[in-house]
Amino acid sequence: MIRSTLKTLLLLILCGLSLLPIFLLWVGSITGKHELALSLAGILEGQGQTCFPLFPAFPTLRGYLEVLLDTPEFYVVFWNSVKVTFFIVAGQLLTSIPAAWGFSRWHGAFSSFLFYLYTILMLLPFQVTMASNYLVVDRLGIMDSHAAIILPAVFSTFPVFLTYRYFIGIPEEIFEAFSLDSSSHFRMFWHIGVPLAAPGAKAAMLLCTIEYWNLLEQPLLFLKTPSLWVFSLYLPNIGKENAPYAFVFSFLVLFPMCLASFLQKETLQKGIGAMALKQ
Partner 1 sequence: MKKQHTLQKDSLFLLPSLTGVCIFVLIPFADVARRSFTTLGGSRFIGLQNYRTVWGNAAFQLALGNTLKFLGISLPLLLALSLLLANLAYFGGMGLYRNFCLLPMAVPTAALVFVWKALFHQSGAINSFFHISIDWLHSSHAFAVLTASFLWKNMGYYVILWATGLENIPKSLYEASSLDGAGPFAQFWHITLPGLKPMSSAVFTLALAGAFKSYRESYLLAGEYPDKSIYMVQHMFHNWFRDMAMDKMYAAAVVIVCLFAALVYPLRKKGGGNLDSFHA
**What residues between 156 and 195 interact with partner 1 by CB under 8 A?**
157, 160, 168, 170-172, 179, 183, 185, 189
What phi and psi values does residue 51 have, to the nearest 5 degrees? -135, 130
The size of the interface with partner 1 (CB under 8 A), counted in residues, is: 109
Q: Does 21 bind partner 1 (CB under 8 A)?
A: yes
Cα gap 246→40, rounded to integer Å: 13
Distance set, CA 162 to CA 204, 212, 250, 279 (Å):
6, 16, 30, 12
Selected binder of partner 1 within 30, 87, 93, 103 (CB under 8 A): 103
Nearer to partner 1, 72 or 236 (CB): 236
Nearer to partner 1, 60 or 178 (CB): 178
* Ramachandran bin of 137, using left for φ above 0, alpha for ψ from -120 to 50, beta for the remaining angles: alpha
Q: Does 143 bind partner 1 (CB under 8 A)?
A: no
Cα gap 68→47, rounded to integer Å: 31
Nearer to partner 1, 121 or 143 (CB): 121
Degrees, nearest 5: CA angle 5-11-15 = 150
Closest CA to 28 of 66, 5, 7, 55: 55
Cα gap 200→207, rounded to integer Å: 11
Q: Does 263 bind partner 1 (CB under 8 A)?
A: no
Q: Does 55 bind partner 1 (CB under 8 A)?
A: no
Nearer to partner 1, 66 or 147 (CB): 147
Selected binder of partner 1 within 135, 177, 194, 198 (CB under 8 A): 135
Q: Does 201 bind partner 1 (CB under 8 A)?
A: no
Evaluate whether 89 touches 212 at the Cβ level (below 8 Å): yes
Q: Does 200 bind partner 1 (CB under 8 A)?
A: no
Q: Does 82 bind partner 1 (CB under 8 A)?
A: no
Least distance in angstroms from the C-beta of 172 to partner 1: 5
